[in-house]
Amino acid sequence: MFDFVHKHKFVMQAILGVLVLTFAVWGIESYTRARGPSDTVAKVGSVSISQREFNEELERRLDRLRQLLGAGFDARSVDTPDARRALLDSMIDQRLIGEATVRSRLLVSDEVLRDVIASTAAFQDNGRFSKATYEALLRAQNPPLTPQQYESQLRFELAREQLVSAVNGTAIPAWTVAARLARLTEQKREVSEALVAADTFLDQVKVGDAEAKAYYDSHQQEFRVPERVRAQYVVLSAATLGQGEPVTDADVQKLYDSRASQYQVPESRRASHILISVPQNATEAQREAARKKAEEILAEVRKAPQRFAELAKKYSQDPGSAQKGGDLGLFSRSMMVKPFEDAAFGLAKVGDISGVVKSDFGYHIIELTGIVPARVRPLADVRAQLVAELQKRKGAQLFDQDADGFTNMVYEQSDSLEPVAKRYKLQLQTTDWIERDNAPAPLDNKRVLAALFSDDAVNKKRNTDAIDVGEDRLVAARVLEHQPSSLRKYEDVKAQIEQKLRRSAAAALAAKDGEARLAKLRKGEDASLAWGAAQDVSRSAPGGLSQDTLRLIVSADVQKLPTFVGAPAGDQGYAIYRIAKVTEPAQKTEAQQQADLERAERLEGATDFGSYVNSLRADTDVTINEKLLLPQQQQ
């Protein structure tokens, strides 16, 4: 009944493995509850998106970017009005899909739910589902989840995915459509660029004081310095508490013995092969011809086994190994398709050669070139990781013992962090100036930042509460210095404004000149441009071009070459592109054509789903509070 999960099992495992660690599903209640208008960023039919929900989802996405990009990530560079609106549109779409899921009464059976949970890697211990691990991970969420809550939310999410899959699955593109899409995707165009630079027009632009002052008055948000603080903080961490904790040899040996099966390294083998490939859709005649060819090659190998590598280079149709004499390197059981594995592990000694072996890929001739016997990893190899794990366990125990005392002391002695640092032997750390949306770890947590910028911390000079930031860590902080949000003086930014206005005016002049030069080129006249080096670009290989520029180039009419297109290049000026050559992709095999068809099916499915969501939106009353989309300091 639930084909989507079984067809996409590995994808679902990956998605759910992430969801359980940072659970971001709103749950059914998000689609059914209402809120007061003052707290509503958007209203979607009968349900609402609150400012709290919007800010939490924004923070989740910024957190993911921080994890990907590291400490140098500046949230302000991506927290833009356009990005906020795109996020809200995404959340509105999710609400629409959620309501459609509820209305459609799609069902997910208990059996399917159990299968998905049991196959989620995050819930497994030694490759098997562990109820203890499952419940522990749910308890570790913030806020904690019961199995019933998680399963309810997961059941709803799987039903939603079933709806998405049902809509996507209606797409049936024709072979001709798939072939045309593939041709357009892989078609190469040889392009050269010439820039009509804004810099060459700067001397023609003058900006008066009145113009600069008018810009300042109408764009004051650009010149506002955000509220910021300098802070002191301490971290109670299980990892830190466990470091240096004594671990006995007996404890290490006991843990090693309990995991003996994990340290079994199975036998591995090295082999070379000659493959005569057979397409999946081959006829019986084609298969028989391939088998006969493999038999002929085997006879030649039997006559001169020492020439196996030479014959592999000559005959093998495996592009990955043929030029290496057929060498496949080391592999253990379950790494190869079963017929190949059975044949390779059935050879008795190095140098033995198999008969012709049939697999899904075609016909193989296998030479065994190496055997690495099964072994057990010695304790010495894994001792360091076992010691670290035992110390981590001890740290977790100490953390459990100390967490309440740490929390109480931070609260009861709220005028200083020194007592708690001294009591628990923690390092007092001090930040540079930080803002609400730009702080170093572990202060880059929305609850920590909200507490640091609260009235209690800023004006009453109290410690924040001890806040759980995950991974068995409690953080407490206090404000050392505070600077409220302020507007930079006009005199301080006047030169910056004048430069910006000059560049903008110069770019406009460059665009006008660029358009005139482009018109000359299209008439076959000389435009006196310096062209850069030519490069081949395509939809699948943009060569560093922006999506807008690539779209301009690949949509240009190339009936007559060379052809020219142009577009403004921001404050850099105006870019003109010369398309001198078009290269069509080579004729494809049947397998490649099938892959193109599947790709077209996915693309058409995504388009159909987008149209479906648009239809839901057209049939639903959607209202947006534009003011609440702004950052709090701008509201």
Instruction: For residue 362, give the CATH number of its domain.
Output: 3.10.50.40
CB-CB contact of 306 with 325 (8 Å): no
Element (DSSP H or E) covering residue 574: strand 573-583
Does 597 reside within a domain?
Answer: no
Does 52 reside within a domain?
Answer: yes
Pairwise CA distance, residues 407 & 60, whole Å: 26
The answer to whether residues 65 and 198 belong to one domain is no
- Domain termination residue (choose one: 454, 484, 514): 484
The answer to whether residues 26 and 119 belong to one domain is yes
**Residue 297's pLDDT is what?**
95
In a 10 Å sphere around its CB, with 0-12 CB exposed, 13-18 middle and 19+ buried, how is residue 43 labelled?
A: buried
CB-CB contact of 191 with 553 (8 Å): yes
Does 258 reside within a domain?
Answer: no
Q: Which residue has the tokens 């923690």?
A: 426
Count CB-CB contacts under 10 A for residue 387. Answer: 15
The answer to whether residues 70 and 103 belong to one domain is yes
- Domain termination residue (choose one: 437, 452, 484): 484
The answer to whether residues 212 and 241 belong to one domain is no
**Residues 288, 289, 290: CA angle, nearest 5 degrees:** 90
The answer to whether residues 195 and 131 belong to one domain is no
Element (DSSP H or E) covering residue 419: helix 418-423
Q: What is the pLDDT of residues 606-622, one digit of tens each?
A: 666 777 778 888 888 88
Does 594 reside within a domain?
Answer: no
The answer to whether residues 192 and 239 belong to one domain is no
Count CB-CB contacts under 10 A for residue 196. Answer: 27
**Residue 12's pLDDT is what?**
42
Does 379 reside within a domain?
Answer: no
The answer to whether residues 330 and 364 belong to one domain is yes
Q: By three-state DSSP, how is residue 424 classified?
A: coil
The answer to whether residues 579 and 538 belong to one domain is yes
Q: Which residue has the tokens 């839901």?
A: 616
**Residue 180's pLDDT is what?**
60
- Domain with residue 415: its CATH number is 3.10.50
CB-CB contact of 537 with 191 (8 Å): yes
**Residue 21's pLDDT is what?**
38
The alpha carbon dihedral of 265, 267, 273, 277 has a sign of negative
Look up the pTM and report it.
0.50
Nearest by Cα to 588 from 172, 173, 182:
182
The answer to whether residues 499 and 479 belong to one domain is no
Q: Which residue has the tokens 């009591």?
A: 423
Q: Where are the alpha helices (DSSP H) in 39-187?
A: 51-69, 81-104, 110-118, 131-139, 147-168, 175-186
Does 127 reside within a domain?
Answer: yes
Instruction: Give the residues of the chain that fall short of pLDDT 70.
Output: 1-38, 67-78, 105-107, 140-143, 166-184, 587-608, 629-635
Q: Two tokens at 604? A: 């058409």
Does 261 reside within a domain?
Answer: no
The answer to whether residues 96 and 196 belong to one domain is no
- Domain with residue 85: its CATH number is 1.10.4030
**Residue 440's pLDDT is what?**
87
Does 541 reside within a domain?
Answer: yes
State how many domains the chain has.
Answer: 4
CB-CB contact of 354 with 335 (8 Å): no
- Domain containing 80 equals 3-174+609-634
CB-CB contact of 208 with 501 (8 Å): no
**Residue 315's pLDDT is what?**
93
The answer to whether residues 426 and 523 belong to one domain is no
Element (DSSP H or E) covering residue 513: helix 490-522
The answer to whether residues 331 and 447 belong to one domain is no
- Helices 590-618, 175-186: axis angle to 10 degrees equals 100
SS (HEC) of 315-341: HCCCCCCHHHCCEEEEEECCCCCHHHH
Pairwise CA distance, residues 600 & 606, whole Å: 10
Pairwise CA distance, residues 79 & 334, whole Å: 47
- Domain termination residue (choose one: 339, 373, 407): 373
**Residue 36's pLDDT is what?**
45
